[in-house]
Amino acid sequence: MGLLCLRLMAAMAAFHYVPTGLAPGPTLFRTLIESAAGLLLCAGLWTPIAGAVLSMGAVWSAFSGTGDPWAQILLASVGAALAMLGPGAWSVDARLFGRKRLIREP
């Protein structure tokens, strides 16, 4: 349940920081990439990949000088945490590929 909440909050934050009135160029490309990563995180599909992409996009945004850099650094750290933790039990990944546990119970 905690990973589901973390995934949803990261996706909402990715959509919250999307700038309006985009012209074609690198900003539009970054926005499309972050939005796609946010959609994948909402569903829990390809969570490690989507978290890593969201993290890289947020770091790019933080150092390019658009928006609040601290909010982008926070979003980057949440994306990196999701990439390392995985999707959780309530996700499309768990339904498609099964849930793998690294620690076995005795």
Domain positions in the chain: 2-17+27-91
Q: Report yes or no on whether pTM surpasses 0.95.
A: no
Residue 93 has pLDDT above 90, yes or no: no
pLDDT one-digit tens code per residue, 15-25: 776 665 566 76
pLDDT one-digit tens code per residue, 4-13: 888 888 888 8
Residue 53 has pLDDT above 80, yes or no: yes
- Two tokens at 67? 């928006």
Report the percent of the chain where pLDDT is more than 70: 81
DSSP labels, the chain: -HHHHHHHHHHHHHHHTPPSSPPTTHHHHHHHHHHHHHHHHHHTSSHHHHHHHHHHHHHHHHHHT-S-HHHHHHHHHHHHHHHHH---SSSHHHHHH----SSPP-
